[in-house]
């Protein structure tokens, strides 16, 4: 399968007075064309940082290394002028803060027209508005929304408006950051269905679906990546990750969830004792060491970062228990 | 919309009521009898033979007992005070006797409008623009921001003194005082307007430059906050240019600035009063000063009322304007 | 948690010591403090004493020159400086105290009290302070520096109340206050242990602004002839200079130095405030 996005040893730090916060610290993964790639992990593990930095790396974020290849093109250090063209047209985002992603003093219509015009000067205002109205109707919004201000919309409506705006130029890759978290169960379901429909209709090709609630991913994701404290710990098909988690963190994560079938639960990933490490001065070895029940080789686990290896075809794990020579835990 | 206006009007009426009542109450709350105080201080101030002074003193005492109506119960005094306000009777000036206070003040109002309106509006506009610019360029900001802070620290009138000294005394290119030359009579001729502008420019600059600093600081900080906001980040994520993002943040940052304009009016008025004194510019500030120097209490109280009314009216205008520029207010009051 | 809090403190301190605005602000302020401490040793005349040469530009004998009545302007300036500090301290202090109490109470209690107090605050905010000051001062027979400072403080608190209320609301909504509520702590305990410490730096900044504002207020008031009746003031010196035609006669030494002193005294306070602002809101930093 063709890879749409390939991320290698990618690092993004936050520059603060106290020092660097290593929020994304050497992650490796790829996203295939035409798939939904789920990203899960506890709050603060760097999911949003990863998503935001892929499209718009803005201070206090700082690029600290690695490669991001989108559609065969290295984009991690593109000059802003060129990257600007890629945004919205090739890669787009529904940010975690969708609730206040729109200026309160502008009508939705103006926001839509202004944003599209930045990319396509030739497109007439009417065409832009018509296109937007068509999409709004698809997500169950009336065309009146165009003349409203974001403050007049409910949370669910804002979420849908942002979903429509972000996909208006049919980007290849859409990053959807916690689009279900602020919603009630039925709106969550609706959002997920809409995303599916947009994919069906080819408005977007692939989606990176970020959530702290792994149960949402059963529904929608083809593959799942689990992050912990700025590192990738495991990647695999949704089936495999859910039914046969391998990494000790993933195991705890899955077992702390309610039984399968109880989907869209409000359950948070809090079932694991202890706290994630401080990303200002992260531990030198495995970042899960402190909370890990396994610690297959305590000396090594504490001092050396486990690499992400392909343990089985399509199954990637970063744990000393699954690297060659330590393979006792199959 | 109606609800918003009604609410505002009620608040301003209450404010006016309180302010006017203070105008009435403060002289009466001060230690001693205000009339004796006025008369004794006037006697100190005026020179002349003792017998003449005592005669004047006696007449003045009678006049003020009459004016303050201290011999009737306080609630009747208070009612009378309000009746006088509504009939436009603010008493008689002592220093320009027997000119009614209201006439003196009304003759000064046009000068104030032509002096205050342009300096306030222009400094607001230019200050916001420069502030937005400072927020954009780190290099400019390092020089501009401290400059703005120094500007807001200058007493308005002292900048006026400085300007007169430079342009009037040293360079001799601009007149030092008054609203127009003695030889002129106000008319719509080119010569007069030119002469008027020549007198107007320095007072204008004093007010303009000092207030500019405050607006620039406010705008600079607001824009920085707005550029960090989520909608700015979202626009950037969708490839919007810095130009468009700045346009959006300016649109939002101007709102608190407009509120600030209403709140700053009092400070600006204070600055205008002192500036008028430096330039002997015949507005209400200068009249107030003459009133203070000559212990003309009816004139002082009249100026107080007029300044309050002016500031309240301006606040009201700003409130109406605000309703048009902030959709949140509009929506809150049309739907809620 | 504790450690990171402490780290944050040091962080701020470090920021101050390396921040140019802070250094400049403190530097100017210290200069003026030094001037009022050491300056009096070189004062050889009382403010309204005939000192010799009339309307003399600065000389060795009269470092800031003399007025047309032969008053030594250096002596006047130094004496006026003391009064200026006093006004800033008392005026700023009174305004901060009242504003703190009212703003905090309104923000913390909310509901009816909040509505009532904020309406009062907003009403007083709209009434121009100068007008109130004029009407009060002009009916006072004798005005001491202290009295005028208190009056200035009494008219300046609404600004503080608004700011403090907003700050209280934002602190109130934070997690830790909820925690103390759950744990059954009383109102006073919550105030003392949770809110007050967080508020302290903020209040100090407000005080600095009020300090500067009070100085500007007394200067304006003195300039229109309603300053302290029993002592020299910077605004009073300037008023004298304008009334006695220093402008036309070009006596620059009479009107320039007091203005410079006022401007830089107030500006130094604003600089310190600006540096603190940047320390606590890193977004505002320009470098
Ligand atoms: N603007 C910022 N400045 C400094 N640190 C930040 C900033 N935003 C996020 N972080 C830190 O980066 C880490 C990852 O945050 P984030 O990507 O938002 O996590 P997630 O989306 O997984 O909840 C957290 O430790 C957070 O404290
Ligand atoms: Mg997130």
Is C282 near chain A, with CB under 8 Å?
yes
What pLDDT is attached to residue C223?
94
Q: Which residue has its alpha carbon closest to ligand 1 atom 5?
A: A14
Structure-token pair, residue A241? 């990750």
Express each pLDDT in C197-220 by its tens digit. 667 878 888 999 999 999 999 999
- Report the chain A residue with the minimal C-alpha distance to residue B255: A105
Distance A210 CA to ligand 1 centre (A): 14
| Alpha-carbon distance values, C157 to B16, B227, C129 (Å) | 19, 32, 11
In whole angstroms, what is the distance from residue C235 CA to residue C255 CA? 10
B269 to C131: CB separation less than 8 angstroms, yes or no: yes
Q: Which residues pair with B100 in a beta bridge?
A: B92
Express each pLDDT in A151-206 by its tens digit. 999 888 999 999 999 999 999 999 999 998 877 888 888 888 999 999 999 999 99
For residue A138, what pLDDT band results from cuts at 50, 70 and 90? very high
Mean pLDDT of B147-165: 94
Between B48-62, C16-30, C172-186, the lowest mean confidence (pLDDT) is in: C172-186
A58 to B236: CB separation less than 8 angstroms, yes or no: yes
Distance A47 CA to ligand 1 centre (A): 8
Is residue B95 domain-resident?
Answer: no
Is residue B90 domain-resident?
Answer: no
Top residue of C126, C227, C270 to mutate, by most chain B CBs within 10 Å, is C126
Distance B235 CA to ligand 1 centre (A): 20
Express each pLDDT in B291-310 by its tens digit. 988 888 889 989 999 999 99
Nearest-CA distance B332 → chain A (Å): 9
Q: Residue A309's domain spans which residues?
A: 3-105+149-322
What pLDDT is attached to residue B261?
93
A86 to B327: CB separation less than 8 angstroms, yes or no: no
Peptide bond into B98 cis (omega under 30): yes
Is residue A125 domain-resident?
Answer: no
The pLDDT of residue C154 is above 60: yes
What pLDDT is attached to residue C187?
63
Is residue B183 domain-resident?
Answer: yes
B327 to A149: CB separation less than 8 angstroms, yes or no: yes
What pLDDT is attached to residue A271?
61
Residues of B in contact with A102 (CB under 8 A): 231, 234
In whole angstroms, what is the distance from residue C242 CA to residue C195 CA? 49
What pLDDT is attached to residue B90?
86
The pLDDT of residue C1 is above 50: no
Q: Please state, rounded to an integer, the average pLDDT across all residues of chain B.
A: 87
Mutate to test the pocket of ligand 1, among A24, A48, A95, A232 (most ligand atoms within 8 A of CB): A48
* Atom of ligand 1 at shortest range from CA of A49: 17
Phi, psi of C123 (to 5 degrees): -65, -45
The pLDDT of residue B315 is above 80: yes
What pLDDT is attached to residue B74?
81
For residue B41, what pLDDT band results from cuts at 50, 70 and 90? low
Mean pLDDT of A300-309: 91
B269 to C128: CB separation less than 8 angstroms, yes or no: yes
Is C48 near chain A, with CB under 8 Å?
no
Nearest-CA distance A18 → chain C (Å): 7
For residue C180, what pLDDT band results from cuts at 50, 70 and 90? low
Asked if A12 contacts A24 with a C-beta cutoff of 8 angstroms, the reply is: yes
The CB density around residue B10, as the number of other CB atoms within 10 Å, is 10
What pLDDT is attached to residue C56?
85
Q: Which residues pair with A21 in a beta bridge?
A: A14
Is residue A287 domain-resident?
Answer: yes
Q: Residue B233's domain spans which residues?
A: 102-335
Q: Of B265, B261, B267, which is closest to residue B157 (Cα–Cα)? A: B267
A17 to C7: CB separation less than 8 angstroms, yes or no: no
What pLDDT is attached to residue B243?
93
Mapped to the 3 state alphabet, what secondary structure does chain C carry? CHHHHHHHHHHHHHHHHHCHHHHHHHHHHHHHHHHHHHHHHHCCCCCCCCCCCCCCCCCCCCCCCECCCCCEHHHHHHHHHHHHHHHHHHHHHHHHHHHHHHHHHHHHHCHHHHHHHHHHHHHHHHCCHHHHHHHHHHCCCCCCHHHHHHHHHHHHHHHHHHHHHHHHHHHHCCHHHHHHHHCCCCHHHHHHHHHHHHHHHHHHHHHHHHHHHHHHHHHHHHHCCCCCCCCCCHHHHHHHHHHCCHHHHCCHHHHHHHHHHHHHHHHHHHHHHHHHHHHHCHHHCCC
Q: Which residue has its alpha carbon closest to ligand 1 atom 19?
A: A44
Q: What is the CATH number of the domain that holds A236?
A: 3.40.50.300
Q: Of C249, C246, C250, C241, which is closest to residue C222 (Cα–Cα)? A: C241
What pLDDT is attached to residue C287?
46
Between A16-30, A204-218, C12-26, the lowest mean confidence (pLDDT) is in: C12-26
Q: Which residue has its alpha carbon closest to ligand 1 atom 4?
A: A14
First and final CA of chain B: distance in angstroms? 11
What pLDDT is attached to residue B317?
94
Is residue B42 domain-resident?
Answer: no
Torsion of CA A292, A298, A301, A302, to 10 degrees: 90
Top residue of B225, B234, B324 to mutate, by most chain A CBs within 10 Å, is B234
For residue A269, what pLDDT band results from cuts at 50, 70 and 90? very low
Mean pLDDT of C8-22: 72
B331 to A149: CB separation less than 8 angstroms, yes or no: yes
A160 C-beta closer than 6 A to ligand 1:
no
**Which residues make up the environment of ion ligand 2, defined by Cβ < 5 Å?**
A 48, 96
A92 to B230: CB separation less than 8 angstroms, yes or no: no
The pLDDT of residue A238 is above 70: yes
A102 to B239: CB separation less than 8 angstroms, yes or no: no
Is B143 near chain C, with CB under 8 Å?
no
In whole angstroms, what is the distance from residue C78 CA to residue C38 CA? 10
For residue C98, what pLDDT band results from cuts at 50, 70 and 90? very high
Q: Which residue has its alpha carbon closest to ligand 1 atom 2?
A: A14
The pLDDT of residue A313 is above 60: yes
Express each pLDDT in A159-173 by its tens digit. 999 999 999 999 999
Q: Looking at chain A, which runs of residues are DSSP E strands?
A: 3-16, 19-32, 36-40, 61-70, 73-74, 91-94, 173-177, 206-211, 223-228, 231-237, 309-312, 315-317
Is residue A126 domain-resident?
Answer: no
A47 C-beta closer than 6 A to ligand 1:
yes
The chains in contact with chain C, meaning 3 or more Cβ pairs closer than 8 Å, are A, B
Q: Please state, rounded to an integer, the average pLDDT across all residues of chain A.
A: 89
What pLDDT is attached to residue B199?
93
Q: What is the CATH number of the domain that holds B241?
A: 1.10.3720.10
C7 to A18: CB separation less than 8 angstroms, yes or no: yes
Nearest-CA distance B228 → chain A (Å): 10
Mutate to test the pocket of ligand 1, among A19, A46, A54, A213 (most ligand atoms within 8 A of CB): A46
Q: Looking at A128-244, which runs of residues are DSSP E strands?
A: 173-177, 206-211, 223-228, 231-237
Phi, psi of A292 (to 5 degrees): -75, 130
* Atom of ligand 1 at shortest range from CA of A178: 21
Residues of C in contact with B278 (CB under 8 A): 242, 247
For residue C179, what pLDDT band results from cuts at 50, 70 and 90? low
Mutate to test the pocket of ligand 1, among A10, A12, A14 (most ligand atoms within 8 A of CB): A14
In whole angstroms, what is the distance from residue C202 CA to residue C160 CA? 11
Mean pLDDT of C273-281: 82
Is residue A130 domain-resident?
Answer: no
A17 to C15: CB separation less than 8 angstroms, yes or no: yes
A14 C-beta closer than 6 A to ligand 1:
yes
Between A28-42, A81-95, B70-84, B114-128, the lowest mean confidence (pLDDT) is in: B70-84
Residues of A in contact with B235 (CB under 8 A): 115
* Atom of ligand 1 at shortest range from CA of A230: 14
The pLDDT of residue B172 is above 50: yes
* Atom of ligand 1 at shortest range from CA of A177: 21
Asked if A167 contacts A197 with a C-beta cutoff of 8 angstroms, the reply is: no
The pLDDT of residue C167 is above 80: yes
Is residue B130 domain-resident?
Answer: yes
The pLDDT of residue A282 is above 70: yes
Mean pLDDT of B17-44: 76
B157 to C238: CB separation less than 8 angstroms, yes or no: yes
Residues of C in contact with A16 (CB under 8 A): 282
Is residue B28 domain-resident?
Answer: no
Query: Per the structure, how many domains does chain A have?
Result: 1
Is residue A65 domain-resident?
Answer: yes
For residue A89, what pLDDT band results from cuts at 50, 70 and 90? very high
Is residue B290 domain-resident?
Answer: yes
Looking at chain B, the whole-number percentage of residues with pLDDT higher than 90 is 55
Structural domains of chain C ordered from first start: 21-284 (1.10.3720.10)
Total count of residues recorded for chain A: 330
Name the residue with tokens 């550029």. Answer: B227
DSSP 3-state assignment of B231? helix
Q: Which residue has its alpha carbon closest to ligand 1 atom 24?
A: A44
The pLDDT of residue A319 is above 80: yes
What pLDDT is attached to residue A226?
95
Is residue A198 domain-resident?
Answer: yes
Asked if C227 contacts C233 with a C-beta cutoff of 8 angstroms, the reply is: yes
In whole angstroms, what is the distance from residue C74 CA to residue C96 CA? 32
Structure-token pair, residue C231? 């002592």
In whole angstroms, what is the distance from residue A109 CA to residue A132 CA? 9
Between A268-277, B125-134, B223-232, the lowest mean confidence (pLDDT) is in: A268-277
* Atom of ligand 1 at shortest range from CA of A52: 17
The radius of gyration of chain C's CA atoms, rounded to the nearest angstrom, is 22
Is residue A133 domain-resident?
Answer: no
Q: Which has the higher per-residue pLDDT, A323 or B190? A: B190
For residue C9, what pLDDT band results from cuts at 50, 70 and 90? low
Is residue B13 domain-resident?
Answer: no
Is B273 near chain C, with CB under 8 Å?
yes
Q: Which has the higher per-residue pLDDT, A237 or C14? A: A237
Ligand with minimal distance to A181 CA: 2
First and final CA of chain A: distance in angstroms? 27
């Amino acid at each position: 399968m063709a890879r749409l996005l390939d991320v290698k040893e990618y690092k993004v730090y936050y520059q603060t007075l106290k020092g660097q916060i290593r929020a994304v610290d050497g992650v490796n993964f790829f996203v295939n064309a035409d798939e939904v790639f789920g990203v899960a992990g506890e709050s603060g593990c760097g999911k949003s940082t990863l998503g935001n930095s892929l499209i718009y790396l803005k201070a206090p974020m700082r690029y600290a290394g690695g490669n991001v290849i989108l559609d065969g093109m290295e984009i991690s250090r593109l000059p802003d002028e060129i990257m600007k063209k890629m945004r919205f047209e090739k890669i787009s985002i529904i940010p975690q803060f969708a609730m206040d992603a729109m200026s309160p003093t502008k009508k939705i219509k103006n926001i839509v027209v202004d944003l599209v015009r930045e990319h396509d000067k030739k497109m007439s205002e009417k065409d832009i508005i018509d296109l937007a109205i068509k999409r709004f109707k698809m997500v169950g919004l009336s065309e009146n929304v165009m003349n409203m201000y974001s403050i007049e919309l409910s949370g669910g409506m804002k979420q849908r408006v942002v979903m429509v705006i972000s996909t208006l130029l049919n980007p290849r890759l859409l990053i959807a950051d916690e689009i279900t978290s602020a919603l009630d169960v039925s709106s969550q379901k609706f959002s997920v269905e809409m995303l599916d429909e947009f994919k069906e209709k080819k408005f977007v090709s692939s989606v990176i679906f970020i959530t702290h609630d792994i149960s949402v991913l059963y529904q929608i994701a083809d593959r799942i990546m689990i992050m912990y404290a700025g590192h990738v710990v495991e990647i695999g098909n949704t089936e495999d990750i859910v039914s046969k988690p391998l990494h000790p963190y993933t195991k705890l994560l899955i077992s702390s969830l309610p039984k399968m079938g109880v989907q869209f639960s409000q359950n948070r990933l809090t079932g694991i004792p202890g706290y994630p490490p401080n990303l200002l001065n992260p531990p030198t070895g495995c970042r899960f060491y402190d909370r890990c029940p396994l610690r297959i080789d305590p000396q090594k686990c504490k001092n050396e970062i486990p690499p992400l290896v392909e343990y089985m075809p399509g199954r990637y794990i970063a744990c000393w228990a699954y690297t060659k020579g330590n393979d006792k835990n199959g | 919309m109606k609800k918003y206006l009604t609410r505002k009007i009620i608040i301003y009426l209450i404010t006016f009521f309180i302010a006017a009542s203070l105008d009435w109450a403060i002289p009466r709350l001060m230690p001693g009898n205000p009339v004796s105080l006025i008369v004794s201080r006037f006697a100190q101030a005026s020179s002349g033979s003792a017998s003449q002074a005592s005669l004047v003193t006696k007449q003045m005492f009678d006049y003020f007992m009459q004016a303050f109506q201290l011999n009737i119960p306080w609630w009747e005094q208070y009612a009378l005070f309000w009746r006088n306000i509504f009939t436009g009777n603010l008493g008689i000036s002592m220093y320009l006797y027997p000119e009614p206070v209201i006439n003196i003040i009304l003759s000064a109002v046009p000068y104030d409008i032509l002096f205050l309106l342009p300096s306030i509006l222009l400094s607001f506009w230019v200050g916001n623009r420069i502030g937005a610019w400072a927020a954009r360029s780190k290099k400019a900001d390092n020089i501009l921001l401290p400059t703005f802070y120094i500007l807001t620290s200058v007493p308005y009138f002292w900048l006026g003194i400085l300007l007169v000294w430079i342009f009037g005394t040293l360079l001799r290119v601009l007149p030092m005082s008054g609203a127009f030359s003695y030889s002129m009579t106000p008319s719509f001729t080119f010569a007069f307007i030119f002469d008027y502008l020549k007198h107007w420019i320095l007072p204008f600059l004093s007010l303009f430059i000092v207030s500019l600093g405050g607006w620039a600081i406010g705008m600079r900080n607001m824009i920085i906050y707005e550029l960090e906001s989520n909608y700015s980040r979202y626009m950037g994520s969708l490839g919007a240019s810095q130009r468009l993002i700045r346009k959006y943040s300016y649109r939002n940052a101007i709102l608190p600035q407009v509120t600030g304009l209403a709140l700053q009016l009092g400070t600006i008025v204070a600055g205008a009063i002192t500036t008028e004194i430096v330039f002997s510019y015949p507005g209400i500030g200068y009249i107030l000063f003459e009133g203070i120097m000559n212990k003309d209490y009816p004139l002082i109280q009249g100026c107080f009322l007029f300044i309050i009314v002016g500031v309240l009216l301006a606040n009201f205008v700003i409130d109406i304007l605000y309703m048009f520029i902030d959709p949140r207010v509009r929506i809150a009051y049309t739907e809620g | 948690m504790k450690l990171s809090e402490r780290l944050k403190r040091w962080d701020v301190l470090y920021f101050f010591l390396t921040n140019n605005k802070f250094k400049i602000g403190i530097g100017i302020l210290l200069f003026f403090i030094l001037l009022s401490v050491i300056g009096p040793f070189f004062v050889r005349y009382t403010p309204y004493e005939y000192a010799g040469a009339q309307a003399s530009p600065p000389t060795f004998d009269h470092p800031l020159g003399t007025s047309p009545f032969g008053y030594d302007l250096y002596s006047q300036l130094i004496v006026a400086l003391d009064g200026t500090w006093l006004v800033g301290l008392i005026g700023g202090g009174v305004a901060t105290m009242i504003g703190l109490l009212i703003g905090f109470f309104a923000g913390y209690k909310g509901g009816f009290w909040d509505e009532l107090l904020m309406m009062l605050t907003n009403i007083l905010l709209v009434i121009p302070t100068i007008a109130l000051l004029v009407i009060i001062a002009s009916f006072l027979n004798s005005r001491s520096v202290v009295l005028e400072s208190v009056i200035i403080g009494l008219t300046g608190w609404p600004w503080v109340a608004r700011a403090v209320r907003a700050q209280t609301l934002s602190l109130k909504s934070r997690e830790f206050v909820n925690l103390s509520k759950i744990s059954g702590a009383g109102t006073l305990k919550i105030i003392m242990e949770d809110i007050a410490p967080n508020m302290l730096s903020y209040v100090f900044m407000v005080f600095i602004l009020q300090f500067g504002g009070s100085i500007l207020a007394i200067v304006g008031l003195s300039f229109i002839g309603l300053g302290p009746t029993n002592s020299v003031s910077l605004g009073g010196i300037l008023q004298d200079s304008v009334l006695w035609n220093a402008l036309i006669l070009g006596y620059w030494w009479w009107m320039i130095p007091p203005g410079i002193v006022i401007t830089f005294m107030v500006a130094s306070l604003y600089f310190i405030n600006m540096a603190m602002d940047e320390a606590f809101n890193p977004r505002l930093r320009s470098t």
